[in-house]
Amino acid sequence: MEKKKSTVSSASQIIIETPPSWIGVRHLQVVLLFLCMLFAYIIRVNISVAIVAMTGNKPDVDEYTWDTPTKSLILSAFFWGYLVMNIPAAVIGHSVNNKMLLGGSFACASILSLLTPVLARWGGATIVIIIRVCQGLTQGFMMPMIHGLLSKWAPPHERARFSTYILGGLNFGTMIVLSFSGLLASSPWGWPSIFYFSGGLGLFWVVLWMLLGANSPEAHPFISDAERLYVQRSLPGTARDHVKMAIPWRYILTSGPVWATTLAHVGQNWGIWTILTEIPTYFNKALNFNLSKGGFLTGMPFLLMWIVSFPLSYTADRLIIKGYTSVTVSRKIWNSVAHWGGAAALLGFAFSGSNTTIAVVLYTITIVTNCCVYMGFNVNHLDLSPNFARILMGITNGTANITSIIAPLFVGQVIDNERNIGEWRIVFICSALAFFLANLAFMTLGSGELQPWNDPNFPSSLRSDSSNSNEVDCEKGAV
């Protein structure tokens, strides 16, 4: 099979081999993981809209008189469990079948969603908080496992696209929640239908995943020999399933590029999760949008973000393949578009006041530009170390979700009157600042180069290759 090679920088190479077919089993895995993200975010974000209806006054449906601090606790509770579980999940996934961990944990989160209306009637805010914490614990497996699976399924020159397609489930899922949850809440079945819908979709995905998913190309029963070899040859830096590697904690925790990705993830979570959890309330209370109509307004930008991400991710990969940008430059450019472009739009949104037209336009720009993080820091874990990508994701995602807890609590302290636009302005300015500082750290410390501690022979390989420190051999795993 003829190979083509494209050198994209003095220290980073990509092996490009003609694929046996344009559509293969690796694309099926991408579709399945996209659906995983989609349904997971429906389960994760459904409370943002449901809580507005749960504390409303619709007749014949259970309602609750929760104040703003209580609602903020409920909105942040998911991340308490999510924060705790990310790193343990990554460590467990380093030695346990990622397919089974992802499927089992997702089934638990889905069942909890189905049980939410009944248990809320019994235990009120306390039981809802406990459910959300438990869902956070179960979904803590998701991102580390997805990155572990991507490290075995995604050729480097398809990495930005695959990552974008999968993580695009976040945007599509959010769009569905924000657009249709208001309609479900307004239906004869009321807000409980939001949780039934979410949980049912989750269990449907678990069945699909168990039938069609696989831990690696070697483990999939339907993959052709040609495609399996194509994926394996494109990933010389990824150890096979039977290879067990000790986690180089000291080198990971003292790595500047790892810290750059972590700080970028922290700022991203502060900004985007403030928007995801609070925008429905802001549009409903401060801008007086009807819940069902406002849902479409707040949800459509996520659909546009999802659509725009496809051509942009393709462009990012092509620029690297053609040698116009190195992996490092590519990651920093796209991350800057997302964070600094989003920060500028969010500042404008903060000062748009009651001018709803300008507010909608700037809100849309903030959301749409954010898709570029998938070609930025969010795929950087695979660049730095495919063998420890799930560990890196566990570290960055776990750390970042500290802000996912703090941000809603911060909003609860700042917002005394939900109809006061001036109080909301403080919230959005702080989110824009988080975007700005996060990308500043990524621009300063970030890298797209394969790290030496990814090598199965590290640290002996580091000593033996010290004379060639400026060149990384493709056969030792350059990406």
pLDDT at 238 over 80: no
Between 69 and 314, the more confident residue is 314
**DSSP reduced 3-state for 15:** strand
Least confident stretch, 47-61, 307-321, 364-378: 47-61
Residue 65 pLDDT: 79
Residue 1 pLDDT: 39
State the helix-helix crossing angle for 377-384 and 142-153, rounded to 10 degrees: 60
Nearest residue to 45 (alpha-carbon basis) of 170, 184, 185: 170
d(CA 9, CA 329): 10
Q: Which residues contact 43 (CB under 8 A, 6 or more apart)?
A: 109, 110, 113, 135, 139, 198, 199, 202
**For residue 184, how far is the Cα from the chain centroid?**
25
464 — phi, psi (to 5°)?
-70, -25
pTM more than 0.85:
no
270: amino acid identity, one letter? W
pLDDT at 58 over 80: no
**DSSP reduced 3-state for 34:** helix
**Max intra-chain CA distance, the chain:** 76
Let me know: does 50 contact 198? Beta carbons within 8 Å: no
What's the mean pLDDT in 161-187? 79
Residue 298 pLDDT: 67
pLDDT at 294 over 90: no
Residue 59 pLDDT: 53
Let me know: does 400 contact 268? Beta carbons within 8 Å: yes
Between 50 and 469, the more confident residue is 50
Residue 470 pLDDT: 38
Residue 465 pLDDT: 43
pLDDT at 303 over 90: no
Between 393 and 287, the more confident residue is 393
Between 297 and 43, the more confident residue is 43
pLDDT at 443 over 90: yes
